[in-house]
Amino acid sequence: MIFEVRTSTKKLVFPFSEVDPTPTVQDPITELSVDAEVGREAFTYVLHSGRTGTVHVEQVLEYNQDLSYLRDLLLYRLTLEAQERIAESPLSKREIVRRLGTSAAQLSRLLDQTNDRKSVDQVLALLQVRNCEVDLVVRTKTA
C-alpha cells in the first residue's frame, strides 16, 4: 500500500513500508492531514491504535529519486562547508577571488546556500582554493 503525494508540479508515491509507525490492515490510517506546523511540507497520519507518524516531502522526493532534489542537496551541503572554510580562512576574499579568477559578486553567489543556479564544479573549485580535499562516499540507505 502507498501514500500518493501531490506537489505543485507532480504526483509521487511513498510506500507504507517506509514509515514508522507502519499502517497495517489491523492498524489502518484513520486520519491524514497536511502539517501546517512545518510549512505544509509534510503530512501527519494517525493510526487506529492512536499512534502517529509524519512524512516530510524531502523523504518522498528522496524515495522517488528526484535527481534535481539530490543535486540541490549535494550543492547545499558543499556550500555550507565552503562557507565554514572561507570563514576560517587566513586568505582575504580578494585573494580567493583572484585564485578563482572570478569577481567578488560571483564569490558571494557561490557562498549563498539558497542559490541553486551555481554548479557543483564551481563550489568544488572554491573548496580547492581553500586547499580542501572532497571525498564522495556512497553507501546503502538505511531506514
Question: At residue 4, what are phi and psi to the nearest 5 degrees?
Answer: -110, 120
Alpha-carbon span 94 to 138, nearest angstrom: 35
- What's the pTM? 0.61
Task: Inform me whether the pLDDT recorded for 123 exceeds 90.
Answer: yes
Question: Which three three-digit cell numbers place residue 112?
Answer: 549563498
Task: Inform me whether the pLDDT recorded for 118 exceeds 80.
Answer: yes
- Encode burial over 28-45: b for 16+ CB neighbours within 10 A, e otherwise: eeeeeeeeeeeeeebbbb
- Domains defined along the chain, listed by start: 2-63 (no CATH), 69-129 (1.10.260)
What's the whole-number average pLDDT of the chain?
Answer: 93
- 20, 31 Cβ separation under 8 angstroms: no
pLDDT digits (tens, 9 = 90+) for 6-52: 988 889 999 999 999 999 999 999 999 999 998 999 999 999 999 99
pLDDT (0 to 100) of residue 125: 95
